[in-house]
Structure 1
Amino acid sequence: MLISADLEGVSGIVHTTETNPGGYDYERGRELMTAEVNAAVAGVFDAEPGAAVVVADAHGPFRNLLPERLDRRVRLVRGKPRPLGMMAGLHEAGDAVLFVGYHARAGTGPAVLAHTSSDALLDVRLDGRPMGEIGLNAVLAGAVGAPVVLLSGDDAACAELAELVPDALTVPVKRALGQAAAETLHPDEARERLRAGAAEAVGRRERVPALVLPGPVRLEVDLYGPYTVDLATLVPGVERAAGGRTVAFTAADVTEAYRLVQLLVQLAQVKPG
């Protein structure tokens, strides 16, 4: 099993000071994230004691989870850059994927800390369909035949996965009131529900189809910065599309499209010389 763990969708988290290193409450955010991952891990082992579980630290710097506090039965993937980004470990992870602490895509609202990979990416579309991190990661899992069986996060994130994978199980741990406000469960209650949900999701994973998007696929990305558009068009195959801030690329498959999204996030950090 692969558990891909983000931070914005964790119970009690509502603000960037709780999710960004250096923020006054980031250390508490890391503890809450680690505890929710452990709850999901416990649920997996409740359902399948012999499972092999890989946890991908998938937020920001990919160095948020506290290794010494993680369940010792898992293997942890941390640090960046790395192949497959938020889904690192996918090829070794077996037959199911769980998303813990996920958030809704850019442009969704009300949704807590909604964005897609970076604030520099205003919208991402695959074959014309808007895709946030939930969709991009789900189709990447689908490329190796792995279904996404569970997601925890706010109600908007849960609704996003339910639209893509109706048979998946969702665990809403907070109700979004805005970009930086929510009605949230007590962390202990959230962890209990997540443990039970993970056990149920793993037990019924054969009933959840993988989200498969056959190649080739057309990727379109609306970028915040015109300079990033200029840099992106230096990548072979990437073209400037209508609107001035949109780039387009025809990828052989979703894995190639995913890697270009990763590259665009990095290019967005480059400033004019």
Structure 2
Amino acid sequence: MAAIKVLISVDMEGIAGIVHPAETTPTGGDYERGRALMTAAANAVVAGVLDAAPAAEVLVADSHGPYRNILPEDLDRRARLIRGKPRELGMLAGLQAGAQAAMFVGYHARAGASGAVLAHTIADAILDVRIAGRSHGEIGINTLLAGSYGVPVVLASGDDAACEEFTALVPDGLTVPVKRGLGQYAADTLHPQEACDRLRQGASQAVSRRDEHRPVAASRPLDIEVDLHQPRTADLAALIPGIARTGRTVTFAAEDMTAAYGLLQLLAHIGP
């Protein structure tokens, strides 16, 4: 197989064993354990990519919270790490470097998803994002962003709800469910090492089949609706040129997904 560049975007809520904010926030008592589990999952996917394509260039984008969670010294040294925020393209920083395939690891379902673990959309400030009338969480938004760069998402992993959300948008995509959601803070989860074994196998398979996948792109121009949690956030959003407000919902048109993604990141940051 010819050398390829693979972007692995790693979130935290969808990692095996993780069920509570105490494990995902820097102030949480179990955060260091969460970081270790996240790093191990990233390493498993890096290994799987390189099992199938030893010459691949692998970029790992730390894509949770502050984007400073993966332990750099413990990450597979064959990969490069993208960390820190704010940054262009947020969770998918690295697309600009010419990635040919993307993978979502440790992802979660969108805000309001029934029975999903730690479900939300970008930040607590946002209740829902609709693109051309269709509701999307981070999985959908990021899949469309990758598609706008001509990059297919070839693998997604998280709880069962996250995997179903991905499959609804990318029917031929490969998923690796690592836990079954029992509620916002509860799950039936695989042992972390078993999850890593499955992730490695899944990543290898996804890379081997990458030519079977096509990017998923949204038609342009894009009409975006965002339901916000707090009226004050909507007040602030309405000060941004090009954004209209109706109650707690703001709307805007974007020329492309890069522009839409930038505004969505901004809306998340101005919220509480």
Q: TM class by shorter-chain length? A: over 0.9
Paired residues for 1:50-65 under 5 Å: 50-65=55-70
Paired letter, 2:39: T
Alpha carbons 1:116, 1:132 under 8 Å: kept: yes
1:209-242 deviation digits (Å, cap 9, x = unpaired): 111112100010000111110110111110013x
Paired letter, 1:167: D
Q: Distance in 1 between matches of 2:111 and 2:231?
A: 18
Q: Distance in 1 between matches of 2:98 and 2:194?
A: 28
Give ranges in structure 2 of 5+ residues lacking alignment: 1-5
Q: CA deviation at 1:134?
A: 0.3
Give the one of 241, 257, 260 matched to 1:257: 260
Q: Distance in 2 between matches of 1:42 and 1:229?
A: 44
Correspondence for 1:42: 47
Paired letter, 2:210: R
1:142-164 deviation digits (Å, cap 9, x = unpaired): 01110000011000000000000
TM-score by length of 2: 0.97
Give ranges in structure 1 of 5+ residues lacking alignment: none
TM-score by length of 1: 0.97
> Are 2:144 and 1:110 equivalent residues in the alignment?
no
Q: Distance in 2 between matches of 1:224 and 1:39?
A: 36
> Are 2:140 and 1:144 equivalent residues in the alignment?
no
Q: Distance in 2 between matches of 1:216 and 1:131?
A: 17
Structure 1 runs of 4+ aligned residues shifted over 4 Å read: none
1:14-43 deviation digits (Å, cap 9, x = unpaired): 001000001010000000000000000000
Aligned residues: 267
CA RMSD in angstroms, aligned pairs only: 0.7
Correspondence for 1:248: 251
Q: Distance in 2 between matches of 1:188 and 1:90?
A: 29
Q: Distance in 1 between matches of 2:99 and 2:207?
A: 12
Alpha carbons 1:54, 1:93 under 8 Å: kept: no
Give the one of 93, 97, 105 matched to 2:102: 97
Q: Distance in 2 between matches of 1:153 and 1:139?
A: 18
Paired letter, 1:31: A
Correspondence for 1:180: 185
